[in-house]
Amino acid sequence: MIKPGPKNSITDIKGLKVGNSQDSKLKSGVTVLLCDEPMTASVAVHGGGPGTRDTELLSPENTVEAIDALVLSGGSAFGLDAASGVQAYLREKGRGFAVGPVHVPIVPQAILFDLINGGDKDWGKYSPYRELGYEAAQNASSEFDFGTAGAGTGALVAGLKGGLGTASIKLENGITIAALFAVNALGSPMIGETHHFHAALFEQNNEFGGYGLPSSFPEKPDALKIKFREHATSVSNTTIGIIATDAILTKAQAKRLAIAAHDGILKGK
């Protein structure tokens, strides 16, 4: 029987910690996944307006075999500064890819668009994301906040707040697979105008309120809701996340897992 991990969290994977930092005035923030030891990683980018840092080195054919951290952030392209803060934190710890006497912390990152969510983005000459990244790394722990926290602080969906979420499952063979996602989607997770989630069938421990599916579906349960309809573009919405497992994978296998995770995103909708 497949069941959630002890915390139903990505930190059910041994050696992983998550740290958040956020600014309520800015309405944005940063989430960092730290690993006790360098970990194998790859990536799949399916969106039309991606914002990333150092993800190309995660391709199976490229040199670096392991990373030191992963970053999810708000701030669109400005938020890419967050990885510099995490990199500074890891450099202080002596972490990183060895190049002669120099160690370079490997910190790939993805960002979401939250620049028009009502927060104060008038930050002056430099964005605050480098400091938020450093603070998030300092805050890394096996226990962390989700919802309106970290990279999910300013996330929105159509008509509702978005946010940061996590989950884990332990398979019958003993392998654990877990997820950490910042959801800033274009549409809505709800069935029509009801309080029932499209993903109700996947609910664990009443995490969606225990409402299940509606006893009768609304007239147009698939009616399209669009966030920021008046200026919706491919860059105004993003769902970014991390899949982790304690299975031993190569970079190529990690790439296939990342690709398969996109099917899970669609299924959840």
Q: In the numeric block, which tokens belong to residue 59?
A: 């391709």
For the full predicted model, state whether its pTM sits above 0.85. Answer: yes
User: pLDDT tens digits for 187-196?
Assistant: 888 888 888 8
User: pLDDT tens digits for 219-230?
Assistant: 776 666 777 665
| Residue 70 to residue 38: CA distance in whole angstroms | 11
Query: Which residue's structure tokens are 């309809």?
Result: 229
User: pLDDT tens digits for 57-106?
Assistant: 999 999 889 999 999 999 999 999 999 999 999 999 999 999 999 999 99
Residue 235 pLDDT exceeds 60 = no
Residue 29: predicted pLDDT: 98
Phi and psi at 161, nearest 5°, equal -75, 140
| Residue 99 to residue 88: CA distance in whole angstroms | 17
The winner for highest mean pLDDT among 3-7, 50-54, 68-72, 96-100 is 68-72
What are the DSSP E strand ranges found in 102-247? 102-104, 109-111, 156-157, 160-161, 163-170, 176-184, 238-245
The long-range contacts involving 222-227, CB below 8 angstroms and separated by at least 24 positions, are 223/192, 224/187, 225/158, 225/159, 225/187, 225/188, 226/158, 226/186, 226/187, 227/156, 227/157, 227/158, 227/159, 227/185, 227/186, 227/187
Each residue of 163-190: b (16+ CB within 10 Å) or e? bbbbbbbbeeeeebbbbbbbbbbbebbb
Residue 127 pLDDT exceeds 70 = yes
> Domain 3-188+225-268: which topology?
L-amino peptidase D-ALA esterase/amidase (3.60.70)
The continuous run of DSSP H or E covering 71 comes out as strand 67-73
Furthest-apart CA pair in the chain: how many Å? 66
| Residue 102 to residue 90: CA distance in whole angstroms | 13
Residue 117 pLDDT exceeds 80 = yes
Q: Please state, for a pLDDT cut of 90, what percent of the chain lies above it.
A: 69
